[in-house]
Amino acid sequence: MTTTVELKTEQSFLNETLEELQFSSGLDVAIIDMDGNIKASKLRYGKSDGIGKIIVEILEKNKKIAEIFSTGNIEEYVVHGKNGYTLVKVSGSHILVVSGLKEHQLGLALLKLRQMGNNPE
């Protein structure tokens, strides 16, 4: 069960992530646990139903791909869509999702997420 302190910490981590990325106005950001439950989020469209479960399913498939190609544990993955990029960063027992990135933001976002690397727990 998640305590109020954990939720504040996760929300603080989310806010810090948005500040650190410096292009927060056009992004969707969420912290998801390994069961697919959204712990904290700032989603522009409010359509969060089921997104956590989908992210976990994709993570599991990417783990299998990494296993087949012997690339080690999945730490992050990038989804490129017609209208931008979604970054998924695994951090301990949580998954950080940042979506809505444009191509020119991708490198900096990857760098900052790798530098942050802190677990929001």
CB 120 within 8 A of CB 91: yes
Q: What separation, in Å, do the N-terminal and C-terminal C-alpha atoms of the chain show?
A: 13
- N residues, the chain: 121
Domain of residue 74 covers 4-116
CATH number of the CATH domain containing 111: 3.30.450.30
Split into its structural domains, the chain has a count of: 1
- pLDDT of residue 1 exceeding 80, the answer is no
User: Is 61 within the bounds of a domain?
Assistant: yes
Q: Is the dihedral of CA 8, 53, 110, 76 positive or negative?
A: positive
Rounded distance, CA 79 to CA 91, Å? 18
User: Is 121 within the bounds of a domain?
Assistant: no
Give 14-58 pLDDT, tens digit per residue.
677 767 766 656 788 888 999 999 888 888 776 667 888 999 999
Give 6-17 pLDDT, tens digit per residue.
555 776 776 777
